[in-house]
Amino acid sequence: MQKQGIGAVVASVLSAFLGVQSKKKYEEDFTKGRARDYIIVGLLGTILFIGTLVMIVNVVLHFAHQG
């Protein structure tokens, strides 16, 4: 069994976040990938997404209070 590289795992997780992953790729992830890799990348992606949203809101609020 061939293991997926980190780039393939990240691409699959990003596709899943956006909901655009094909059924073929989805099945390949389950046959070639390890759940641990997808969980770690998914959690890191979620943390990065939430952190980005928090920073954007803080910047907008900062500039809103200056005006």
Report in angstroms the alpha-carbon separations of 60 from 49, 50, 56: 17, 15, 6
Q: Residue type for 58, please?
A: N
Encoding tokens for residue 42? 């998914």
Which is higher by pLDDT, 30 or 10? 10
**Is position 28 within any domain?**
yes
Instruction: Tally the domains of the chain.
Output: 1
pLDDT at residue 1 in the model: 55
**Is position 21 within any domain?**
yes
**Is position 47 within any domain?**
yes
Q: Residue 66 above 70 pLDDT?
A: yes
Predicted structure pTM score: 0.81
50: containing domain: 6-66
- Please give the share of the chain, as a percent, with pLDDT higher than 90: 64
**Is position 20 within any domain?**
yes
Query: How does residue 23 score in pLDDT terms, banded at 50, 70 and 90?
Result: confident
